[in-house]
């Protein structure tokens, strides 16, 4: 009986030991200089490519945590100085502007900043532009001819577009577009435009949903980043893809080019390794790898790296001229979206 008893007690210790053993590996992240923690709002496939290449090159491991830009920014604000994050890599600039306003970011190495055009990084030097993505209108030629498409994004609020447009106001890519309209046209016009969209548009959760809806003919047009059209076309095959891309022109708000950027958290204890990662991101080999990958469809910012062949060359785009600081932190845009009843 004692033997049995001992065995059972062993089981109890074993059980609690197992819980601890299973839970332990992630309970403690000390500031190991060979491990970086990356919070990312980029697609995980892109992150995996980047971190694998970086680890191969430097021997520094990267742990990543994925989410959407605004929720990660919110998380970083809440975590404050105790955050596990060393680096934040995002899809759009406003989240970085917000964190910079909250004094949560550390200065980026000037050599890294010099690798990309100065207008694609903020004047504070607290984060660096890495890639750019273009806003476009996707359309289904079976439902609407290219010649009927509007000259401006703002025309889509006109009642004649009722039922012909798909949008994803809760996608983090939509907010910067609203911020751009706000800068160019002012508060009142933006709200009127959003209310028009609310009346006209089918609402989806994200850009992937919008482009898929246009592709299957559930909506004639949709507001997306060109990235998502390229992704759908790659996965389905171009021959099977109905949706096409229409570029706004003449500096229209709809032609906005967003900057994907990266920053080092002021609270990071691994700033040297983090600086290496940022330098790696804007280096020519990394940017060429991304552009050639058929995984990422953003515009490389390093000089002399051509964009993926599916995309229209950046020199042929005519985006509105809005500085990163003027585009701001998306907070007024979010308030207007709410006021218009879109989110």
Rule CB under 8 A: is residue 304 a binding residue for other proteins? no
Rule CB under 8 A: is residue 2 a binding residue for other proteins? no
CB atoms < 10 A from the CB of 7, how many?
A: 10
Rule CB under 8 A: is residue 145 a binding residue for other proteins? no
Rule CB under 8 A: is residue 172 a binding residue for other proteins? yes
Name which position in 79, 106, 249, 306 contacts other proteins (CB under 8 A).
79
Tell which positions 17-46 bind other proteins, by CB under 8 A: 18-19, 22-23, 25-27, 29, 37, 43-45
Rule CB under 8 A: is residue 288 a binding residue for other proteins? no
Contacts of 25 (CB under 8 A, 6+ apart): none
Rule CB under 8 A: is residue 341 a binding residue for other proteins? yes
d(CA 55, CA 62) in angstroms, rounded, equals: 7
> Strand ranges (DSSP E) for the chain?
35-40, 61-66, 87-89, 105-106, 127-139, 165-167, 201-203, 221-225, 244-246, 257-265, 299-300
| Site mask for other proteins (CB under 8 A), range 120-139, x = bound | --------------------
Question: At CB < 8 A and 24+ separation, what contacts does 107-114 make?
Answer: 108/263, 108/264, 108/275, 108/278, 109/275, 109/278, 109/279, 111/279, 112/275, 112/278, 112/279, 112/282
Nearer to other proteins, 63 or 279 (CB): 63
Rule CB under 8 A: is residue 67 a binding residue for other proteins? yes
d(CA 306, CA 318) in angstroms, rounded, equals: 17
Only one of the segments 71-79, 119-127, 251-259, 312-320 lies at the binding site for other proteins (rule: CB under 8 A); that segment is 71-79
Contacts of 202 (CB under 8 A, 6+ apart): 163, 165, 166, 167, 213, 218, 219
Instruction: List residues near other proteins by CB under 8 A.
Output: 4-5, 8-9, 12, 15, 18-19, 22-23, 25-27, 29, 37, 43-45, 48, 63-68, 70-71, 73-74, 77-79, 82, 84, 98, 170, 172, 175, 203-206, 208-209, 212-213, 215-216, 218, 231-232, 234-235, 237, 294-295, 331, 334, 341-343
Binding residue ranges: 43, 91, 227-228
Binding residue ranges for Fe cation: 43, 91, 227-228
């Amino acid at each position: 009986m004692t033997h049995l008893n001992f065995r059972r007690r062993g089981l109890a210790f074993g059980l609690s030991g197992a819980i601890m053993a299973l839970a332990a590996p992630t309970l403690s992240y000390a500031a190991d200089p060979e491990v970086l923690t990356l919070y990312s709002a980029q697609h995980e496939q892109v992150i995996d490519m980047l971190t694998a290449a970086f680890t191969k090159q430097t021997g520094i491991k990267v742990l990543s945590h994925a989410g959407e830009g605004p929720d990660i920014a919110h998380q970083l604000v809440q975590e404050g100085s105790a955050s596990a994050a060393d680096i934040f890599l995002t899809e759009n600039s406003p989240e970085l502007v917000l964190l910079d306003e909250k004094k949560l970011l550390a200065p980026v190495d000037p050599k890294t900043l010099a690798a990309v055009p100065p207008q694609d990084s903020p004047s504070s030097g607290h984060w660096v532009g890495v890639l750019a993505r273009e806003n476009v209108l996707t359309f289904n030629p079976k439902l609407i001819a290219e010649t009927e498409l509007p000259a401006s994004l703002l025309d889509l609020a006109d009642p004649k577009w009722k039922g012909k447009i798909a949008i994803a106001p809760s996608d983090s890519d939509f907010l910067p577009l609203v911020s751009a309209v706000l800068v160019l046209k002012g508060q009142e016009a933006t709200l009127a435009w959003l209310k028009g969209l609310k009346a006209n548009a089918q609402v989806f959760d994200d850009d992937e949903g919008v482009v898929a809806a246009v592709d299957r003919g559930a909506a004639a047009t949709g507001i997306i980043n060109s990235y998502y059209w390229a992704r759908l076309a790659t996965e389905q095959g171009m021959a099977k893809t109905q949706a096409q891309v229409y570029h706004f022109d003449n500096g229209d708000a709809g032609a906005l080019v967003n900057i994907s950027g990266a920053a080092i958290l002021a609270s990071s204890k691994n700033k040297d390794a983090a600086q290496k990662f940022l330098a790696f991101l804007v280096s020519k080999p990394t940017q060429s790898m991304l552009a050639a990958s058929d995984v990422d469809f953003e515009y490389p910012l390093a000089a002399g790296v051509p964009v993926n062949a599916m995309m229209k060359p950046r020199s042929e785009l005519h985006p509105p001229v809005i500085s990163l600081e003027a585009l701001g932190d998306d907070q007024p845009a979010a308030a207007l979206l709410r006021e218009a009843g879109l989110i």
